Amino acid sequence: MRRWQRAREGGLRGLFFLCALVSIAVTMGIILVLFGESLPFFRHVPFTSFLFERSWAPRTGQEYGILPLVCGTFLIAVLALAVAIPIGLATAIYMSEYAAPVVRQVAKPVFEILAGVPTVVYGYFALTFITPYLLRPLLPSIEVFNALSAAIVVGIMIIPTISSLCDDALRAVPRSLREAGYAVSATKLEVCTRIVLPGAMSGVVAAVLLALARAVGETMVVAIAAGSTPKITANPLVSVQTMAAYIVQVCKGDAPAGTIEYQSIYAVGLTLFAITLAVNVVAQKVMARFREVYE
């Protein structure tokens, strides 16, 4: 190779390497920004009151407890999982164990579409359809903005995630195990629920955790449909606010750069990032262990 060629090869390799490092730079940037910009907030607000105070109102009062936001976030996330897990898992079971191939062909695009619809559209659907036409007739006392409609819609949004990951997990269970079940005179249902499903369980758990992380980080559906009143409650019929929705709410408004309200979005962002990162890391560990067993 001529010298200029070698230089070019080396240069290009270096360039590509830098591009790969961009991803690390992004992570470091996120951490730097979140920690750095929330420092002023934590200088003003003691950490313990941030964690344990039961009221959140940085704009008006002196209350800086994150619990209401966390509570709202998890209320919606857990309800969403309650919708998504049964439907997602049942669909995955049907697809992998019962359905004829033609059913799979039809179902796959449907789920891809469900997964591709933008979250603002889901938020619109929750506020303008689910609440007035579905929930209000059944539960007349429900507020216009409520956690339930947001949770239902977020649940629908994450069904494709759970369904496709569970489908992968079920398929990973080797055929020999199913055959062993049939050979001792088990019916399809018994093989499916008492042999295949337990065998795929850690894959299912990983799927649920990933879906949980998505539900926790979901912003627009909640911002549109769930309201903006942070409170600690387990009642899905009232309005709540999640961490992500709070950040959006503040940014929509006019909080000037140095104020405590402005700084609070970084503190909330940091908490949100920490929670989703933790859930994602656990999910990946579980998934890695699952793969180990079957590959």
Partner 1 sequence: MITLAGPSLVRPMGFRPRLARRRLVGRVFAILCLVAGLVAVLVLGALLWHICRQGAELLSVHFLTSYESTLEPLTSGIKAPLWGTIWLMALTTILTVPVGVAAAVYLEEYASQNRLTRFIHLNIANLAGVPSVVYGLLGLTVFVRWCAFGRSVLAGAAALALLVLPVVIIASREGLVAVPKSLREAAYAVGATRWQAIRHHVLPAALPGILTGVILALSRAIGEAAPLIVVGAVAYIRAVPSGLRAPFSAMPIKIFNWSELAAPEFVRLAGAAILVLLGVLLSMNAVAVGIRAWQQRHKTW
Partner 2 sequence: MVAAGRRPEATQALRLAALVAARGPAAPASTAAEPVIRAERLTIRYGEFAAVREVSLDIAPAQVTAIIGPSGCGKSTLLRAMNRMNDFIERMSVSGKLLYRGGDVYGPAWDPVELRRRIGMVFQRPNPFPKSIYKNVAWGPMINGYRGHLPELVEQALRKAALWEEVKDKLNESALALSGGQQQRLCIARAIAMQPDVLLMDEPCSSLDPIATRHIEDLIDQLKAQYTVVLVTHNMQQAARVSDRTAFLYLGELVEVGETSRMFTTPDNPRTQDYITGRFG
Instruction: Using CB under 8 A, list all residues that contact partner 2.
Output: 174-187, 190, 194-195, 198-199
* 110 touches partner 1 by CB under 8 A: yes
Q: How far is the CB of 108 from partner 2 (least distance, A)?
A: 18
* 93 touches partner 1 by CB under 8 A: yes
* 124 touches partner 1 by CB under 8 A: yes
The smaller minimum CB distance to partner 2, of residues 196 and 223, is found at 196
Handedness of CA 201, 81, 249, 127 (dihedral sign): positive
CB atoms within 10 A of CB 274: 11
* 22 touches partner 1 by CB under 8 A: yes
* 212 touches partner 1 by CB under 8 A: no
Q: How far is the CB of 7 from partner 1 (least distance, A)?
A: 12
Q: How far is the CB of 51 from partner 1 (least distance, A)?
A: 20
Give the one entry of partner 1, partner 2, none that residue 195 binds, where binding means its C-beta sits below a cut-off of 5 to 8 angstroms depending on kind.
Answer: partner 2
Q: Which two tokens stand for residue 5?
A: 């060629």
Q: Which two tokens stand for residue 8?
A: 């070019």
Give the one entry of partner 2, partner 1, none that residue 180 binds, where binding means its C-beta sits below a cut-off of 5 to 8 angstroms depending on kind.
Answer: partner 2
Give the one entry of partner 2, partner 1, none that residue 220 binds, where binding means its C-beta sits below a cut-off of 5 to 8 angstroms depending on kind.
Answer: partner 1
The smaller minimum CB distance to partner 1, of residues 48 and 185, is found at 185
Among the residue ranges 50-58, 135-143, 176-184, 244-252, the one whose residues contact partner 1 (CB under 8 A) = 244-252
Q: How far is residue 178 from each of residues 88, 198, 211, measured CA to CA in Å?
A: 22, 12, 28
Q: How far is the CB of 188 from partner 2 (least distance, A)?
A: 9
SS (H, E, C) the chain: CCHHHHHHHHHHHHHHHHHHHHHHHHHHHHHHHHHHHHHHHHHHCCHHHHHHCCCEECCCCCEECCHHHHHHHHHHHHHHHHHHHHHHHHHHHHHHHHCCHHHHHHHHHHHHHHHHCCHHHHHHHHHHHHHHHHHHHHCCCCCCCCHHHHHHHHHHHHHHHHHHHHHHHHHHCCHHHHHHHHHCCCCHHHHHHHHHHHHCHHHHHHHHHHHHHHHHHCCHHHHHHCCCCCCCCCCCCCCCCCHHHHHHHHHHCCCCCCCHHHHHHHHHHHHHHHHHHHHHHHHHHHHHHHHHHHC
Give the one entry of partner 1, partner 2, none that residue 248 binds, where binding means its C-beta sits below a cut-off of 5 to 8 angstroms depending on kind.
Answer: partner 1
- Residue of 205, 248, 260, 282 interacting with partner 1 (CB under 8 A): 248
- Residue of 57, 59, 82, 98 interacting with partner 1 (CB under 8 A): 98
Give the one entry of partner 1, partner 2, none that residue 86 binds, where binding means its C-beta sits below a cut-off of 5 to 8 angstroms depending on kind.
Answer: partner 1
The smaller minimum CB distance to partner 1, of residues 160 and 236, is found at 160
* 205 touches partner 1 by CB under 8 A: no
Q: How far is the CB of 179 from partner 2 (least distance, A)?
A: 6
* 216 touches partner 1 by CB under 8 A: yes
